[in-house]
């Protein structure tokens, strides 16, 4: 499956697609094509492919490339380039694509002869999907696309410097297990690497045999079931109090495929001040980048966690897990004293959190949830009880508004039998909603809830908290556009709810539509703020539970 | 603090751009840079002198570049380093002899002469070149150009004093 848009320089690659079994999904903007490919990859673990022409086609892919780089999503982007003889002449639709992509890809190629293509495409998929996954760009001049060449069996001989480490060092594994077994207050700090490695099963077994709580970062939601007794939810800026506070009190922090992002750590000097750190990551450059590490382990999360399990079980029975009673009791107590909360007035206005909970109830949590960026994203992460990996698709590292609609289309195209529900903000929706035309015409029936609070809610929240309530350029109004009308114009079903009583009916209606995309406008409270919150640069010891704490 | 890094890379278009771009991307400053082929076909060596408080992150980021094959940190005590410098110095008939005597002491040679300048080619360690420059600076330096530093790990037991000859 390829998500793309044709154009002059990439024409020769599009012509043979008519005779090929590869499904091409025609996006309406190359950024949309890129995010669709990301959604496809995040919902499946397979490499997503986006294709675009030279110049503006390629530059429109830059945001998805950087997004995929930040979130370690396997992506191959294929771009047309002006003919070799015209490169450097400022030709029509020319851009220095490999140069532009240098900082936002794992690697990039400019193909100079068609005979390189089998190796380059093979290498591109290998690089995108192995080690720390990421985006790879292949730029192909038009004359090279038109060249005839002999097929050769591709090889990876052209990658002498690329050797990702997959197995953790046995000495480090032993040291890590010694430290974990002797710890009193361990925390497993789980990042997106666990999902990329397909290590959820191993993680659950490991957490149970060592009896340690698990926090899952924004990129790791679903890596560990939220209803597990050891699950504490998401840590960090808008994380749960138990997750953030457990890390602050941990004596041993086991980071598994996590990168100590500033949204998790808050002020780094104050982060996990009592913890010795075991850091497992497939990318050695992540280890020690932000936080000093007592026991670094370079390797694939699944293989390393399995090795940790094996080591523990070579020393004792699985059932002889340390009790850690004071620690477990403390965590349970925090869950009770500091739960996630909001107040839904029966007469409205609707709180996004409430809609998320109703959707979970009415779907049994059986859905791939895709979100944009902002308050609604945090509420989706907080209030959707995740139980499966790859059931959460969002833009974490780059925070790309507009991600949800196209990413949901990619996820639904990849998993047509599953319910894919985008939870989007009105600001995000207005950045990329035209891709719903793609969804309607390509027969990809995604559902989208647009939480319409009439503004850029998270930015407005910061203005209210840190800029004396001076609301500069965050008001979008609630009257334009007419979302249901807009949805209908794009070939979708359009619904609108503005009272809590209407939510269940609207969700049922949306779920009943199978042949078209559905957009549900949910008019929400414009003044609701997202909590808990650790203000940017603040210490994670100072979790603000609500406006009354400020 | 300055560190010398020797980076073996695939000899492919754009590799130098990737390496230098990574430095600016990660906020490191390159003090000096020299690139050239090695004895192995298809392999080039980039010698970098960088200003950085610590090298660990830098080395890891270099390793992440797909075309980078080997990264070696060269510590000053076990490294042979050399730079080439061309320096044009003001002179008159009276000072010309003094300048060329000084150059001879540093095994540097005259490569161009005009009525009021003399151009010297000097090579050696950064310290030797700095020392030579101090000696000729009073005459007036008109123009100065230096190559990037090249370096290789020292395998012999040559004492520093002998190397500094």
Kindly state whether residue A164 falls inside one of the protein's structural domains: no
> Based on the domain organization, do A66 and A91 belong to the same domain?
yes
Domains, in order of start, for chain B:
2-74 (3.30.70.260), 80-154 (3.30.70.1150)
> Based on the domain organization, do A13 and A141 belong to the same domain?
yes
The secondary structure of chain A in percent helix, strand, coil, rounded to multiples of 5, reads: 40, 15, 40
CA-to-CA distance for B99 and B105, rounded, in angstroms?
10
In chain A, what residues touch B68 (CB-CB under 8 Å)? 161
Average the pLDDT over B80-92 and give the result: 96
Query: Which residues constitute the domain of residue A82?
Result: 2-146
| Residue A349 preceded by cis peptide, ω within 30 | yes
Kindly state whether residue A403 falls inside one of the protein's structural domains: yes
Q: What ranges make up the beta strands (E) of A234-275?
A: 252-256
In chain A, what residues touch B9 (CB-CB under 8 Å)? 161
> Based on the domain organization, do A119 and A221 belong to the same domain?
no
User: Which residue in A1, A17, A93, A115 is the catalytic one?
Assistant: A93
The answer to whether the beta carbons of residues A406 and A35 sit under 8 Å apart is yes
Q: Beta B79-90 vs B141-146: how paired, if at all?
A: antiparallel
> Based on the domain organization, do A390 and A308 belong to the same domain?
no
| ipTM for the whole complex | 0.90
> Based on the domain organization, do A241 and A121 belong to the same domain?
no
Residues ≥6 apart with Cβ < 8 Å to B29: B23, B50, B51, B52
Kindly state whether residue A159 falls inside one of the protein's structural domains: no
Alpha helices in chain B (DSSP H): 15-25, 56-64, 93-105, 126-136, 160-163
> Based on the domain organization, do A316 and A397 belong to the same domain?
no
Please identify, among A89, A111, A146, the residue that sits at the C-terminal boundary of a domain: A146
Residues ≥6 apart with Cβ < 8 Å to B3: B49, B50, B52, B55, B73
> Based on the domain organization, do A212 and A361 belong to the same domain?
no
pLDDT at B165: 44
Measuring CA to CA, which residue among A240, A498, A499 is closest to residue A385? A240
> Based on the domain organization, do A330 and A357 belong to the same domain?
no
> Based on the domain organization, do A142 and A47 belong to the same domain?
yes
Kindly state whether residue A254 falls inside one of the protein's structural domains: yes
pLDDT tier for residue B111 given thresholds of 50, 70 and 90: very high
Kindly state whether residue A210 falls inside one of the protein's structural domains: yes
CA-to-CA distance for A66 and A50, rounded, in angstroms?
14
> Based on the domain organization, do A393 and A513 belong to the same domain?
yes
> Based on the domain organization, do A231 and A82 belong to the same domain?
no
Better-scored residue on pLDDT, B161 or B6 = B6
Average the pLDDT over A229-249 and give the result: 98
- CB contact (8 A) between residue B66 and residue A288: no
pLDDT tier for residue B1 given thresholds of 50, 70 and 90: confident
- Suggest the residue from A285, A288, A293 to mutate for an interface test with chain B (most B CBs closer than 10 A): A285
Residue pLDDT, tens place only, B22-55: 998 888 889 999 999 999 999 999 999 998 888 8
Residue B164, both tokens: 């500094």
Scan residues 25-54 of B and list those with Cβ closer than 8 Å to A. 25
Kindly state whether residue A540 falls inside one of the protein's structural domains: no
The secondary structure of chain B in percent helix, strand, coil, rounded to multiples of 5, reads: 35, 40, 25
The answer to whether the beta carbons of residues B1 and B53 sit under 8 Å apart is yes
Could you tell me the end-to-end alpha-carbon distance of chain B, in angstroms, rounded to an integer?
Answer: 25
Kindly state whether residue A542 falls inside one of the protein's structural domains: no
Residue pLDDT, tens place only, A489-519: 999 999 999 999 999 999 999 999 999 999 9
In chain B, what residues touch A162 (CB-CB under 8 Å)? 66
CATH code for the domain of A462 = 3.40.50.970
The answer to whether the beta carbons of residues B74 and B46 sit under 8 Å apart is no
The answer to whether the beta carbons of residues A46 and A75 sit under 8 Å apart is no
CA-to-CA distance for B139 and A324, rounded, in angstroms?
78
Count of domains observed in chain A: 3
Would you call A529 a catalytic residue per the annotation?
Answer: no
Nearest CA in chain A to B70: A161
> How far apart are the CA of A112 and the nearest CA of chain B, in angstroms?
11
> Based on the domain organization, do A283 and A174 belong to the same domain?
yes
Kindly state whether residue A228 falls inside one of the protein's structural domains: yes
pLDDT at B159: 57
Residue pLDDT, tens place only, A269-327: 999 999 999 999 999 999 999 999 999 999 999 999 999 999 999 999 999 999 999 99
Residue pLDDT, tens place only, A71-113: 999 999 999 999 999 999 999 999 999 999 999 999 999 999 9
Give the strand order in the sheet containing A107-110: A24-26, A2-4, A48-52, A75-81, A135-141, A107-110
B16 close to A (CB below 8 A): no
CATH code for the domain of A210 = 3.40.50.1220
Residues ≥6 apart with Cβ < 8 Å to A430: A476, A481
């Amino acid at each position: 499956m390829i998500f793309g848009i044709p154009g002059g320089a990439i024409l020769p690659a599009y012509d043979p697609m008519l005779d090929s079994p590869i499904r091409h999904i025609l996006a309406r903007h190359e950024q949309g094509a890129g995010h669709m490919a990301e959604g496809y990859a995040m919902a499946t673990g397979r490499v997503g492919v986006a294709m675009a022409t030279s110049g503006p086609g390629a530059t429109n892919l830059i945001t998805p490339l950087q997004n995929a780089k930040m979130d370690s999503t396997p992506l191959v982007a294929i771009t047309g380039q002006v003919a070799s003889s015209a490169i450097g002449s400022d030709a029509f639709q020319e851009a220095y694509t490999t140069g532009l992509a240098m900082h936002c890809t794992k690697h990039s190629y400019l193909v100079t002869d068609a005979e390189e293509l089998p190796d380059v495409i093979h290498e591109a998929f290998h690089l995108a999907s192995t080690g720390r996954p990421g985006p790879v760009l292949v730029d192909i001049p038009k004359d090279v696309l038109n060249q005839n060449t002999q097929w050769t069996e591709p090889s990876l001989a052209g990658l002498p410097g690329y050797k990702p480490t997959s197995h953790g060092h046995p000495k480090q594994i032993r040291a890590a297990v010694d430290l974990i077994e002797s710890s009193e207050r361990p925390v497993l700090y789980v990042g997106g690497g666990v999902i990329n490695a397909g290590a959820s099963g191993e993680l659950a077994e490991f957490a149970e045999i060592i009896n340690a709580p698990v926090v899952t970062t924004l990129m790791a939601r679903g890596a560990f079931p939220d209803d597990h007794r050891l699950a504490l939810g998401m840590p960090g800026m808008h994380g749960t109090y138990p997750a953030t506070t457990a890390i602050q009190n941990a004596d041993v922090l086991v980071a598994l495929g996590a990168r100590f992002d500033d949204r998790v750590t808050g002020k780094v000097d104050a982060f996990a001040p009592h913890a010795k750190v075991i850091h497992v990551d497939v990318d050695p450059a992540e280890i020690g980048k932000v936080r000093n590490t007592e026991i670094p382990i370079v390797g694939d999360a699944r293989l390393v966690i399995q090795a940790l399990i094996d080591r523990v079980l070579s020393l004792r029975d699985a059932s002889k897990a340390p009790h850690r009673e004071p620690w477990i009791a403390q965590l349970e107590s925090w869950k009770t004293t500091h739960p996630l909360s909001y107040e839904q007035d029966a007469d409205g206005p609707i709180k996004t959190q409430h809609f998320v909970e109703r959707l979970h109830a009415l779907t049994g949590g059986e859905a791939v949830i895709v979100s944009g960026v902002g308050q609604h994203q945090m509420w989706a992460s907080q209030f959707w009880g995740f139980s499966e990996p790859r059931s959460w698709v969002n833009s974490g590292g780059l925070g790309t508004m507009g991600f949800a609609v196209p990413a949901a289309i990619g996820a639904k195209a990849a998993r047509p039998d599953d319910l894919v529900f985008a939870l989007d903000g009105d600001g995000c929706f207005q950045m990329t909603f035209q891709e719903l035309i793609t969804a309607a015409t390509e027969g990809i029936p995604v559902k989208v809830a647009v939480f319409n609070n009439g503004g850029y809610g998270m930015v407005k929240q910061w203005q209210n908290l840190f800029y004396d309530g001076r609301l500069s350029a965050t008001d979008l109004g609630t009257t334009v556009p007419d979302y249901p009308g807009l949805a209908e114009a794009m070939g979708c079903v359009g619904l609108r709810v503005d009272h809590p009583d209407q939510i269940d009916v609207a969700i049922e209606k949306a779920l009943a539509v199978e042949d078209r995309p559905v957009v549900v406008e949910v008019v929400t409270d414009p003044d609701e703020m997202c909590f808990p919150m650790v203000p940017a640069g603040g210490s994670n010891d100072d979790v603000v539970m609500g406006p009354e704490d400020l | 603090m300055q560190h010398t890094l020797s980076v073996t890379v695939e000899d492919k278009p754009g590799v130098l751009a990737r390496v230098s771009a990574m430095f600016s991307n990660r906020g490191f400053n390159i003090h000096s840079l020299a690139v050239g082929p090695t004895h192995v076909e298809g392999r080039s060596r980039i010698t970098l002198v960088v200003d950085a408080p610590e090298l660990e992150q830098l080395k890891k980021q270099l390793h992440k570049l797909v075309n980078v094959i080997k990264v070696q940190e060269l510590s000053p005590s076990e490294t042979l380093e050399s730079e080439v410098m061309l320096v044009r110095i003001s002179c008159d008939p009276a000072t010309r002899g003094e300048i060329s005597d000084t150059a001879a002491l540093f095994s540097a040679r005259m490569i161009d002469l005009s009525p009021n300048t003399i151009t010297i080619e000097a090579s050696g360690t950064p310290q030797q070149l700095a020392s030579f420059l101090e000696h000729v600076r009073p005459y007036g330096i008109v123009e100065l150009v230096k190559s990037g530093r090249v370096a290789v790990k020292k395998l012999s037991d040559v004492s520093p004093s002998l190397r500094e000859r």
